[in-house]
Amino acid sequence: MAEAFYEALGEGWYRSTGLTRGPWDEGAQHAGPPSALLGSALEAALEGPLARVTFEILRPVPIAELQVTTTVVRGGRSVRLAEGVLADEDGPVMLARAWTIRRADVDLPEDLVDPADTIAPPEEAGTKSFFPVPWDEGYHTAMEVRFVTGGFTEPGPAQVWMRPRQPLVAGSALTALQRVLCAADTGNGASARFDTLDWVFINTDLTVHLTRYPAGEWVSLDARTTLEPDGIGLARSVLRDEEGVLGHALQSLFVARA
């Protein structure tokens, strides 16, 4: 089994390993690892923690060699904006834009600060398997998953703790942002409203808003999917660590019978 989701090749190129493999297509990645790869590059370009990042998924991300490029669109002391591209030899597979907002101590009145909002910690959550996956190595083996409520094979809302079992890039320690982004794209799968063998619910994008970065190894998703009869859905996840809420994730969904 691979030791990381990616191997760095130099000059912005990375070799994808089998740990990036998603549950639907043996040759395509789960969107979590490539989001973390591109998001990390945007974080480095902006030289600060991200407040919001949106990923546009142009087509399935292949398990192949990929190149990451970034550009700072707006500089500044208070806010900065950057955009990035993840591409294979045939062109872009994912686009992203990210904002960073300066961090500073602000003397807010106590009644304006939201109280801590927590769920049962990961050590009190249960280990449940992914829905059936026909290959031995992939995202489903790369992530440790513990459910407080719900489950991949239990339709409806779910509360789930997640953490990667290995680094994003071989030879580099996982960062706080990478932990969030590796997990955030799982909201639609954790809170699916129907049998995953009979329906598809493909997300075209992923937007993550962060008021802070997580403390510790675990990130939880309090996920809920809403559907409309016109074939469009929305997966919404409250993101937490063991200290409380740290942000939110949104995924627009294409919904259809398989």
pLDDT at 185: 97
pLDDT at 193: 87
β-strand pairing of 13-16 with 6-10: antiparallel
pLDDT at 14: 98
Are residues 144 and 162 in contact, defined by beta-carbon separation less than 8 angstroms?
yes
pTM of the entire predicted model:
0.95
pLDDT at 105: 82
Contacts of residue 108, defined as CB under 8 A and 6 or more positions apart, other chains included, come to none
pLDDT at 72: 98
pLDDT at 24: 86
Which domains are present in the chain? 6-103+118-257 (2.40.160.210)
pLDDT at 127: 83
pLDDT at 106: 82
Q: For the chain, give percent helix, strand, coil, nearest 5.
A: 15, 45, 40
In the chain, which ranges are continuous DSSP H helix? 32-46, 139-142, 176-184, 187-190
Q: How far apart are CA 123 and CA 126, in angstroms?
A: 8
pLDDT in tens, the chain (258 residues): 789 999 999 999 999 999 999 988 999 999 999 999 999 999 999 999 999 999 999 999 999 999 999 999 999 999 999 999 999 999 999 999 999 998 888 888 877 778 788 999 999 998 877 777 889 999 999 999 999 999 998 899 999 999 999 999 999 999 999 999 999 999 999 999 877 778 888 999 999 999 999 999 999 999 999 999 999 999 999 999 999 999 999 999 999 987
Beta bridge pairs of residue 94:
57, 86
